[in-house]
Amino acid sequence: MNWEANVRKVVPYTPGEQPFLRDMIKLNTNECPYPPSERVQRVLREFDASDLRLYPDPGALGLTEALAAHFGLKREQVFVGVGSDEVLALSFLAFFSGGKPVLFPDITYSFYEVWAQLYGIPYRCPALDEGFRLKKEDYLTENGGIVFPNPNAPTGLVESLETVEEIVAGNPDSVVIVDEAYADFCGISAMGLVDRYENLLVVQTFSKSRALAGLRIGFAAGSPKLIRYLNDVKFSFNSYTMNRLTIACGKACLEDEDWFLKTVGKIVSTRERMKAELKSLGFSFPDSGANFLFVRHESVPARQLFSALREAGIFVRHFDRPRIDDYLRISVGTDEEADRLTAFLNGYLKKS
């Protein structure tokens, strides 16, 4: 009767909604607004389904090696997983078991807190400053590990590589995880530091800049020792996390650098246009280096705008959390989506 006493009770992460409405504008989960590379589409068309009777390669070698070559690393320095969420979840399990509090900012990717609670990892969340900047001194105190996104989410703000390196260098006794889900949109990455710091793990994803959110591919780069520990945890959990089709698509995607540069370029240019247009409509925001803007209006509350946009079929994200409940996070879409967003806001704000 009292089986519930033995249940692990957790407060799960709430992902953004995934509505399926004709003609909606979906700017709520930072997906890529463009289709994936033609090379990925070809792999999907030509994939031989009879191969699916066999298990995939447990090390996802095809993709791991392609990533290593792409970033100029050794195969032993790369780990792949089912989205960066899985890579991060396994990393928390592998690297944050010391008993001292793990540090991440008060305003950040809210999944960090969920994993910490799931695993019973103590944590502390130093407050970002009033401009939503990370205060690096907060990360140069005793801790059991550090994780932060760069650019940060949902603010979009980018910390300099010098700041990141100071935090990594100042914490030789902890693993520092830099979550670079959005780094391709600002061109600042700590990937080049992994050869120099044994305690640095850089995590990236194919979900945003590579238009493959639906396939689920994330990866981490670090020292061979760090990757070995991460693999030990993964192989204690599920040997075959990456399926055959996904491995093949991920590899094909990585080979199409032209598509990648063109796609990221278009998103960055739409982002800069959106910044100018939203500013002229009375919005302010931290200067985003990501594929989303984190905006607040001078007179209309975020909650009200969120509902009005939703009713018009425009989905954005609102976080009901302290310090940020008057902000909306709006993903950068196509130019046409951006035009429809600003046209709607223009009309709505005139009436309010």
For 328, phi then psi, to 5°, come to: -120, 140
Which of 44, 61, 169, 213 is the binder for ligand PMP (CB under 6 A)?
213
Query: Which range in 78-86, 159-167, 271-279, 309-317 contacts ligand PMP by CB under 6 A?
Result: 78-86
* The only residue of 36, 144, 149, 250 in contact with ligand PMP, by rule CB under 6 A: 149
Among 218, 222, 286, 333, binds ligand PMP (CB under 6 A): 218
Report the residue number, 185 or 283, with the smaller CB distance to ligand PMP: 185
Residue type, 54: L
- Determine how many CB atoms are found less than 10 A away from the CB of residue 299: 7
Task: Find, among 44, 83, 28, 35, the residue nearest to 262 by Cα.
Answer: 35
Closer of 207 and 246 to ligand PMP (Cβ): 207
Q: Would you say 230 and 202 are in contact if contact means Cβ atoms under 8 Å apart?
A: no
The nearest distance, CB 30 to ligand PMP, in angstroms, is 6
Question: 283 near 297, Cβ under 8 Å?
Answer: yes
Q: Interface with ligand PMP includes 159 (CB under 6 A)?
A: no
Distance of closest approach, residue 99 Cβ to ligand PMP, in angstroms: 25
Between CA 266 and CA 264 the distance in angstroms is 5
Nearest approach, Cβ of residue 280 and ligand PMP (Å):
28
And the tokens for 7?
């249940």
> Least distance from C-beta 250 to ligand PMP, angstroms?
12
Instruction: Please give the structure tokens belonging to residue 210.
Output: 């590579």
**Interface map 180-209 toward ligand PMP (x if CB under 6 A):** -x-----------------------x-x--
Q: Long-range pairs for 301-307 at CB < 8 Å and ≥24 separation?
A: 301/326, 302/326, 302/327, 302/328, 304/352, 305/345, 305/348
Which range touches ligand PMP (CB under 6 A), out of 80-88, 155-163, 260-268, 312-320?
Answer: 80-88
- Determine which helix (DSSP H) or strand (DSSP E) holds 296, and give its type and residue range: strand 292-297
179 in contact with ligand PMP (CB under 6 A): yes
User: Binder to ligand PMP among 84, 263, 270, 331 (CB under 6 A)?
Assistant: 84
153 binds ligand PMP (CB under 6 A): yes
Beta strand 328-331 with 123-124: parallel, antiparallel or unpaired?
Answer: unpaired
Report the residue number whose CB is nearest to ligand PMP: 83
Closer to ligand PMP by Cβ: residue 13 or 47: 13
By rule CB under 6 A, what count of residues binds ligand PMP? 12
The backbone region for 175, taken as left when phi is positive above 0, alpha when psi lies in -120 to 50, beta otherwise, is: beta
* DSSP run (H or E) holding 302: helix 302-311
Q: Dig out the tokens for 185 from the structure.
A: 């949109």
Given the rule CB under 6 A, which residues bind ligand PMP?
Answer: 83-85, 109, 149, 153, 179, 181, 205, 207, 213, 218
